[in-house]
Amino acid sequence: MTANREFVWGPTYREMLDPSALPSATRQEARRARGNDLAPAGLFNIAWSDELGRVRVLRLPPELTGVAANILVLVGKYFPSGSLKVGPAYAAVMEAELDGTIRPGEATLVAPTSGNFGIGVAWVARLKGYRARVLISTGRSEERYERIAACGGDVEVIPGGEGGIGPILQKMRERYEGRPGHLVLDQFALMANYRFHRFVTGRNILEAAAGFGDGRVAAFVSAPGTAGTLAAGDEIKARFPDAAVVAVEPVECPTLVGGACGPHPVEGIADGLVNLIHNVLNTDYAIQVYGEQCLRGLRVVQQGPELLSHTLGVPEAAAQGLVDLFGPSGICNILGAMGAARALGIGADHNVVTVAPDGFDRYPSALAAFEARSGTIDRQILRHWAVEVFRGASSRGLHDLRTPEEKERLFQQKEATWTRLGYSREYLEDLQSPSFWEREAAQVADYDGRLREAREP
C-alpha cells in the first residue's frame, strides 16, 4: 500500500440522512457506483434511502404480525456492504480523518465485531486506502468471514461463541491499543456510532413513520447489539417524548434484564455488555425473545409465499416480498416489536418501528446448521412453526427499566465493565447526564462543516 495517499472523502451526516442534499454530479456518480464494490463513489450510497430519496421502510402484513398496530421495518440490506453497520463504520473513519488521527496508506483499522461492523470497516478501508484487521469470534456464519476477506480485511479469529464480546475487547486492548500505525474502532464505545444512528437512523425513522397511521412513533424496538441503533430512540423521544424505547434481548442472554449472558443463536444482537454508548436513560423497557424462534421464523419466511399464505393468510405477493429481506436479527427485532405492541396495548393507526440490520445473503450456512440440528423439517413442522412463532409466545413480557432503581443497576453494570477496559469513573458518571448525550449529538454539525470544507477543491 502506497503511503501518503490523498484522502477519499465521502458524505456528511446530513447527506447520509438526505442524499438529495448531495451535489447533482456527486449523486449521478453515486448512482453509477451501485453494484460496483470498488468504486469510491459508493461511499455516497450510505443511506437508508433509495435512488428516489424514499426511506426503505416496509409495513409488515397484519396477517403476519397478528397485531393491530403498524409494524414498520427499516430495511438495512441495501446499504453498501450489505448491512446498516457500514454507516457507523464510515462515520468513525470520517471523524478520525477530520480529527487528524489517521491518513490513507499509513494506518491499519482494527475492528472488534460479530461480523457486520467488521465487513463495513473492511469495505470502507478498501475504498479509502487503509488496511483493515477484523477481530471476530468463532461460531459465526461462514459468509461473514468470507465477506470480510472479500473486502480485503485480515481476519483474526478469537476463540469463543456468541453471547459475549468481552474476550475480543480484551484481546483488542492487549494487542492493538496504543500500537503505532493502528486505530482501534471499538464500535461498543464509538460516539460516531451513536451519532450516526441518532441523527441518520432516528430522523429517517421519523420521516418514514410520517407516512403511516397517525404519523407518530408509539414505540421504537431494537436489539441492543452495540447499542448504536438504540440511539435512534433518543432522536425519536426528542420529537415524541411519550414514545417507548424497547430493547430486545435473547432469553438466553438477559443482560439488561438480569445482568447475565449466555450463548444464543442470533448473531450480533447481544454481547453481554451494557455498552458504553448505550444511553440507558432513554431505554424504557426490555423484552426477551427465544433465540430458536428467530431461526424458526426466518426459515418460515424463507420458505416463500405459499406457506405464509395458506397458514396465516398473508397475501402471496406480500409474503414473496419478504423473502431474503431479513437475517436472524431482523426476525428477532420483528418478534420484539410484535411483543411490545401487544404488551403496551398499541392499537390500530399507531406505529411500532424497528430495523432489519441485514438480509438473508449472509446466513445460508447458519440456517443450514440450524436445519441440521433440528432434524427433518417437513411442511407440517413449518406450518406449526409459522403459528408458533408469529401467533404464539415468541417473546416474554416487558421488563420495566424506567425506575430509578433500574437505571442505577444499569449504570453499575456499565461501570463494572468499562472501568476494567480503561475508562475513568468520572467519565462514566458523566454518561448519566442527559447533557452528555446532547453534547455528543451536537458534534454532527461540526463534523459536517469540517468535511464540507475538506472536500472543497
Confidence band (pLDDT; 50, 70, 90) for 160? low
Instruction: Please report where in the chains the cell 430519496 appears, as a residue.
Output: 53
Distance CA 132, CA 126 (A): 8
Pairing label, strands 285-289, 399-400: antiparallel
Whether 1 has a pLDDT exceeding 50, the answer reads no
pLDDT, average across residues 289-317: 94
Q: Which residue type occupies 298?
A: L
Q: How many residues does the chain have?
A: 457
Contact 264, 270 (CB under 8 A): yes
Amino acid 394: pLDDT: 65
Residue 451 clears pLDDT 60, i.e. is over it: yes
pLDDT, mean over the chain: 92
Domain locations in the chain? 18-47, 57-81+196-400, 96-186
Please give the average per-residue pLDDT across 52-61, as a whole number: 96
Q: Is the pLDDT of residue 161 over 70?
A: no
8 Å CB contact between 188 and 165? yes
Topology of domain 96-186, CATH: Rossmann fold (3.40.50)
Q: Yes or no: is domain 57-81+196-400 CATH 3.40.50.2300?
A: no
Do 96-186 and 57-81+196-400 have the same topology in CATH? yes
Over residues 115-128, the pLDDT tens digits come to 789 999 999 999 99
CB contact at 8 A, 222 and 229: yes
- For a pLDDT cut of 90, what percent of the chain falls above it? 75
Q: How far apart are CA 187 and CA 138, in angstroms?
A: 19
Predicted pLDDT at 2: 44
| Predicted local distance difference test score (pLDDT) of residue 32 | 94
Give me the mean pLDDT over the 25-53 stretch.
93
Q: What average pLDDT does the segment 344-349 reach?
A: 97
Per-residue pLDDT band at 345 (split at 50, 70, 90): very high
Compute the C-alpha angle 384/388/389, nearest 5°. 120
Q: Give exposure, 391-418, as e/b (b: 16+ Cβ within 10 Å).
A: eeebbbebbebeeeebeebbbebbbebb
pLDDT (0 to 100) of residue 73: 98
pLDDT band at 163 (very low <50, low <70, confident <90, very high): very low
Q: What is the CA radius of gyration of the chain?
A: 21
pLDDT in tens, 264-283: 778 777 678 899 999 999 99
Q: What is the mean pLDDT of residues 426-448?
A: 98
Above 70 in pLDDT, residue 326?
Answer: yes
Sign of the four-CA dihedral 401, 201, 336, 134: negative
Residue 5 has pLDDT above 90, yes or no: no
Mean pLDDT, residues 235-262 taken together: 91
pLDDT of 252 over the 90 cut: no
Between 172 and 228, name the one with better pLDDT.
228
In this prediction, residues 173-195 reach a mean pLDDT of: 91
* Better-predicted residue by pLDDT, 305 or 75: 75
- Using CA atoms, how far apart are residues 274 and 406, in angstroms rounded to an integer? 13
pLDDT digits (tens, 9 = 90+) for 126-142: 999 999 999 887 767 78
- Can you read off the three cell numbers belonging to residue 227? 447499542
pLDDT at 65: 96
pLDDT of 159 > 70? The answer is: yes
Provide the pLDDT confidence category of residue 393 given band limits of 50, 70 and 90: low
